Amino acid sequence: MTPRPRLLGLATAVPPHCLKQAEVIARAERLFDRDASEIDRMMGVYGNAGIESRYSCVPLDWYEEPRGWTEKNRLFLVHAVDLLERAAVDVLKQTGLDPAEIDGIVVVSTTGIATPSLDALLMERMGFRRDVWRLPVFGLGCAGGVLGLARAAAMAAASPGQKILYLVVELCALTFRRSDQSKSNIIATALFGDGAAAAVVGPGDGPEIAAWGEYCWPNSLDVMGWRVEDDGLGVIFSRNIPAVIRAEFRSAAEGFLGRHGLTLADIGNFVCHPGGAKVIEALEDALGLARGAMTEGRAVLRDFGNMSAATIMFVLQRALGAGPRGRRLLSSLGPGFTAGFLLLE
C-alpha cells in the first residue's frame, strides 16, 4: 500500500502593522459617510466580532485616502511575495530542507492578481529547481486554505517520495473600498486581516493526511465572493451565512466522513476556519459542540482576525501545538458556496 502523505512542517507569517480593534473603530467612524445614529448602530459590528487585533501590510493612515485597483494590486504583489518568502524560509528551516529539495509548489490566494504567478515571483528569490511543479490557485476564498492543502496532498500522493511546498497568502486589508458604504463592506472592515502560511507535505514524520474532499451547494453563488470594481474588490457577504451553516454544514461533513467509513464521533478535534464570531457559533451548533469548544479558532480570530484562506493554517498551528487530540477534521467555507474538508491522523 502506498504511504499516505504527511504534514512535515507548518509556519505562519504576518505583516508588521498591528491594528487594534479600538483604533479601527475610531478610524471607521470617520471614514463611513453615514449619520451619527446609524454609525453608532454599525459600530456594534466591531465590538461583537470577537477580534482584538489584526495585522495589515499598510499602516492605518493608508486608509484615509481613496486608493485605486492599480495601487492596491501593486502593493499586493510586493507584500504577498515578502510574506510568502518569510513563511517558506521558516518551514524549510523547520523541516531541514533546502529549496532545491522541493518537487512541487502550490500557492493559494484570492485577494490580488499575479501573472506571472506568485510561485514564479518567489522562484526569483529562493533556490527552487527550475523544473519544480507549480500550481497557482485563485478564487476559492476562505475555502482555499483547506482545499489548497488538499491539492498539495494529492500531488504528493500521486508521486510518492516527492515533497510539496504549500503556500497561502491573503492581504484582505488591501480590499477596503472607501467608496463602498454597504453593510458587507463595514463587516469586512471589522473582520479582515493579512497573513500567510507555508507547509511541507510528503514522506517522513508528521500527521498523516488521510483524506480530503469538498462540497459545493447548489444555487449559492451569491452567498460569498468578490465583485471586481474600478477601485478594487467589492466584498459579497450574505446575512444568511450562519443560518446556512446551521442548516447544511453537518450533512456535508457527515457525507465526507461517511465516504471514508467515519462519523462525527470519530473526530477528536474540529479545526475549522472561524470566519467570524457568528460563524464559529454556527459551526459549534451544527456539529453539536458546546459553545466555546472551538478554542483554537476563537483564539486566532481574536489575535489575527479573518485572514481568508490563510486563517485555517493559523488555527491548525495552534491545534498541533496543543498536543495530540486524536483524529482532526479541518474545514473551511468559501465562495461557491463551498466547504473544504481534510482529515489528519
All cell numbers assigned to 340:
473544504
Which DSSP symbol is given to 3? Answer: P
Q: Closest Cα partner for 172 from 311, 272, 297, 51?
A: 311
| Active site annotation includes 142 | yes
| Dihedral sign (CA 144, 269, 213, 283) | negative
As to burial, measured by CB atoms within 10 angstroms (0-12 exposed, 13-18 middle, 19+ buried), residue 311 is: buried
Q: What three-state secondary structure class fits 111? A: coil
Q: Left if phi > 0, otherwise alpha if psi is -120 to 50, otherwise beta: which for 261?
A: left
Q: 18 by DSSP, 3-state: which?
A: strand
Measured distance CA(54)–CA(58) in Å, rounded: 12
The Cα 33–Cα 39 span in angstroms is: 9
What's the start-to-end Cα distance of the chain, in Å? 17
What phi and psi values does residue 333 have, to the nearest 5 degrees?
-120, 140
Helices and strands (H, E) in the chain, number of each type: 12, 13
Q: Which of 18, 57, 142, 272 is catalytic?
A: 142
Residue labelled with grid coordinates 492543502: 149
Query: Any idea which residues carry the catalytic annotation?
Result: 142
